Amino acid sequence: TDQPAINRTSTRILELNLKMMIGGSKVSTGAVTIAAFLLRPCFSFQVPNALETGSRGRFGAATTFLSSSVTEEPSSEISLDSEAIQLKDDLITLAAATRRGFSASRSDREKAKQIINNLAKYSPSDEPAAAYYKEGENSNTIDRSTIAGKWTLIYTDAPDITSLEGGPFSTAKLGRIGQECDPPMIKNVIEWQRPDWASSLPFSGGDSSRVLQKVCVVGTSTKENPKLVDLKLAGFELSGINDSDDNAVEGSTSFFNGPAGFLESNPVKLQGPLTAPFGKFEILYLDDGMRITKTFQGFFAVNIREENVWF
């Protein structure tokens, strides 16, 4: 597959859908401006055990990943091998030490790859992509774990994700990264925060304000390839969560309360009639609390299912 061609096609489809939505006056001009400003493609974003975070788990904040042997969701059906539990612990430790893989060295990435390949041998799910089977296809077995639900990224080596962190004067600060799997849709979620340098500026929103960018794709799988999910780009969403009244302008419109305040009142949902190829991913490992995928480009993503969802 020609990945640069897919990237160009997918970006063009988003642009065309955006133009059609603007032409139909379905979204406000301000919302479209923010959407265009934040829109950035993440084409290997395939992407979690519970997660405990410091400073709400923001990128760069103190973060502690709890042991898989302690935080595994209760299940009478799944009994993990002791070796698998140890491998999961090793992977979680490495993910925390490398800040989700953003600061991983080459040796760190090789170590993660080795752990992942070994852990894949212990995956308790025979049909991990069953939730995305095409209409009319049913799972051969009652699978004990499902890909459906909300997941949070704890490790990746995909360069289009690890390059998302901007410099000290970037216009937005990267927060958490996640994925919502609600068949047939898969939404790749990126959390953006107010940058530190803008904290004293008016109309910048509060300390807890955040913008959620979602790239929406349609996923399909088959019984012949029960670990593989094919993706087609479907649209784009932007929403805001203004958790704090810090810097809020009393009696003002949402525009003056920062991007998060504006998008909380004016969410953007761009899903036109056009779709485009978006690649595929293979599910290497799946249990109740952890999921590991490999993109068709060969990049890994490790996700955990958090007890307290953030999107």
Q: Are 200 and 206 in contact (CB under 8 A)?
A: no
pTM for the model: 0.76
| φ, ψ (nearest 5 deg) of residue 130 | -55, -30
Residues in CB range of 140: below 8 A, 6 or more apart? 127, 223
List pLDDT tens digits, range 252-308: 455 556 788 889 989 999 987 777 899 999 999 999 999 999 999 999 999 999 989
Q: How far apart are CA 205 and CA 262, in angstroms?
A: 9
Q: Are 69 and 29 in contact (CB under 8 A)?
A: no
What's 291's DSSP letter?
A: E
Predicted local distance difference test score (pLDDT) of residue 106: 98
Q: Are 243 and 206 in contact (CB under 8 A)?
A: yes
Which residue ranges in the chain fall short of pLDDT 50? 1-2, 22, 25-26, 37, 41, 43-76, 246-252
Q: How far apart are CA 17 and CA 39, in angstroms?
A: 13
Structural Rg of the chain based on CA atoms: 20
